[in-house]
Structure 1
Amino acid sequence: MKYFHKSFLPVFLMLGCFCAAYAFQSSDLTSEFSFTEGIEGPAVSRDGMLFAVNYKEQGTIGRVNDKGEAEVYLHLPEGSIGNGIRFDKEQHMYIADYAGHKVYRVQKDARTPELWVESTEMNQPNDLALADSGVIYLSDPNWEDGTGNLWMVPEAGKLVLLEANMGTTNGIEVSPEGKYLYVNESVQRKVWKYKILPDGTVSEKALLIAFDDHGLDGMRCDKEGNLLITRYGKGTVVMVSPAGKVLGEFTLKGKNPSNLAFGGKDGKTVYVTMADRGCVEVIRVPNKGSYYSKIH
């Protein structure tokens, strides 16, 4: 059963039809262990195909249809292992390569990764988010010492450090209207909110929410600005309002969800990559994804 946090009850009652319209339990889209334990970076293209890293073996990008049928879409260059994936409005794919300290771009309908930015100053480019302007934001954790950085890529080949010596930066997302950037810290269990300035840099850092237990991993916004955050080790996806209030929590089969992406015919299906099960689980949510709403 899906678990509803007590603070979600007033919203639940107000929406009324929520429980009737959405499945209470997650289901599997792909077979267990079809991906490696490094499964991450789910992203849905305009045509509804799901992409995620490390299908069958490390260093691949897998493509999955709505029936759960998967194939290797491309291999990254030797020594590279992908993590986060995002599509821009033109449907070019961007891939964070944590092993090679790079970000790749794969042009629409192509299968050849092109180097977008590279720097040994980065620890492990982990996840990425795209603003409508084309600016890329990168989380960059150092797991060994529990720290992390926040980077901006305003254009190909240019890397700008926005903040150093944070906690273990991981999930990252831009709000639907493009005004705010959210960054979470896995080990510290905190989610930070920044105001995005006209030049793409950020200011006015504020704590959105902190959790008492379990890790934080990938996260995405729905069209209402709510954050859906994977709770690594807890086996849930939590929904947090733009004001930092927990609205609800969805229970998964596995315990280690690594990331998520919106998709499906109505944009209200969420694909969750599961590191402990090597597969993709599916949940249904009340709102379309922010990115999905912009491309459909």
Structure 2
Amino acid sequence: MSRPATRRIAAALPALLSLAACAAAPVQAPPQVADATPLFEARDYVGDGVFGEGIEGPATGPGGVLYAVAFGRDGTIGQVVPAADGQGAATLFVELPAGSTGNGIRFGDDGAMYVADYSGHNVLRIDPATKAVAVFAHLPAAHQPNDIARAPDGTLYASDPDWKTGQGQLWRIGRDGRVDRLETAMGTTNGIEVSPDGKRLYVNESVQRKVWAYDIGADGSIAGKRLLLEFPDHGLDGMRSDADGNLYIARYGAGVVAVVSPQGQVLREVRLKGQKPTNVAFGGADGRDVYVTLQDRGAIETFRADRPGREYGR
């Protein structure tokens, strides 16, 4: 969920701490050893205030390194690697160009980082080795590209909410950077994900609290829209799929991550320390570590799942 959006949902937080602007070089996460950590019990991974209120877009990239936007302030991306005490050590990875503000992050098969730039109306491509930032796709008719999902064939899908009117759109971004608007006049589209087999697209609407499912055609088009699930309260934000197709949905304001089956059944809710989760990502040596970004804490929590994510550590 972007910074303008969260300001409409919650009161603005105090001014962010000023952090050092020196970027750290990309690093490789050390190997992780399986342990007897209880499943679905959240703990701190990165403590309070390290990230700003715009914290979003967690994604694991090459070497299993975790990335998230708003390292201390908007317009930045931080990287987090495991420390000896089991916590995560966060450093600045890159400063985005002036006028760009990152939100959702995904990685391509070649290790390139794709970032939804909501203020610039772009999807950015970042070379993790050189940190060179380029515009991969421009969406001039977008309200604000918010979150992105990557299909197995490399196609990107983007949510595009308009918080002022309570409406939203959906976009497809091809492997060549060509953009196509798939749908308009939805609710406040936010979390977006593709099923492990690449045949289904999921999109949620934050304010309306609905999760929709579509069939994905061979050409990347979508059809067969149907309601998967509607929640009675609180908001919805980012979501990811595990290898079995279960959705892990950040329930903004509820302080939980809801685990939902492909049939729309709530299988469990994972209680968090923070109340305003903005997004989730899978990672770790076996893909079963789930990382959750928390707007109200400027922190990242983590818990162990019983299944790996459908994509992690590219």
Could you tell me the TM-score, scaled by structure 1's length? Answer: 0.90
The secondary structure found in structure 2 opposite 1:292 is coil
Identify the match of residue 110 of structure 2 among 60, 77, 90. 90
Q: Give the number of aligned pairs.
A: 275
Choose the corresponding residue for 1:132, options 140, 144, 152: 152
Letter in 1 for 2:221: T
- The residue matched to 1:125 in structure 2 has which SS? coil
Tell me if structure 1 keeps the 8 A contact 2:152–2:197.
no
Report if aligned partners of 1:90, 1:108 keep a CA contact under 8 Å in 2.
no
Amino acid at match of 2:247: L
Find the counterpart in structure 1 of residue 286 from structure 2.
Answer: 266
- Post-superposition CA distance 1:17-39 (Å, at most 9, x none): xxx86345311111211000000
Alpha-carbon distance between aligned partners in 1 of 2:257 and 2:192, rounded to the nearest angstrom: 15
Is the partner of 1:216 in helix, strand or coil? coil
Assess if the C-alpha contact under 8 Å between 2:280 and 2:292 holds in 1. yes
Is residue 128–residue 137 contact of structure 1 (8 Å, CA) maintained in 2?
yes
**CA offsets 1:44-74 (integer angstroms, 9 cap, x no match):** 0131110000101210010000121111100
Structure 1 contact 147–169 (Cα < 8 Å) conserved: yes
Q: Which AA in structure 2 matches 1:227?
A: L
Amino acid paired to 1:40: E
Of the structure 1 ranges 110-119 and 226-235, higher mean CA displacement relative to structure 2 is found in 110-119
2:245: which partner in 1? Answer: 225
How far apart in 2 are the matches of 1:107 and 1:130? 17
Amino acid at match of 1:43: A
Could you tell me how far apart the structure 2 residues matched to 1:171 and 1:262 are?
15
Residues 154-197 of structure 1: per-residue CA shift (max 9 Å, x gap): 13442101000100000000100111000000000010100000
How far does residue 252 in structure 1 lie from its aligned partner after superposition? 0.2
Residue among 249, 266, 281 paired with 2:301: 281
Match of 2:271 among 251, 254, 271: 251
**2:39, 2:306 within 8 Å by CA — same for their partners in 1?**
no
TM-score, length-scaled by structure 2: 0.85
Q: What code does the residue aligned with 2:61 have? A: S
Deviations 1:227-281 (A, max 9, x none): 0000000000000000110100100000000001001122111000000000100
Percent identical across equivalent pairs? 51
Q: Deviations over 1:172-223 (max 9, x none)?
A: 0010011100000000001010000011010111111110001000000000
Q: Is the 8 A contact 1:215 1:232 kept in 2?
A: yes
> Which letter does structure 2 place at the counterpart of 1:232?
Y
Q: Is the 8 A contact 1:53 1:60 kept in 2?
A: yes
Matches within 5 A, 1:98-109: 98-109=118-129
Matches of 1:58 and 1:115 in 2, distance apart? 18
1:1-296 alignment, distance < 5 Å: 22-23=38-39, 25-67=41-83, 68-292=88-312, 295=314
Amino acid at match of 2:75: G
| RMSD over aligned Cα atoms | 1.3
- Extract unaligned runs of 5+ from structure 1: 1-19
Contact conserved, 2:246 with 2:262, CA < 8 A, in 1? yes
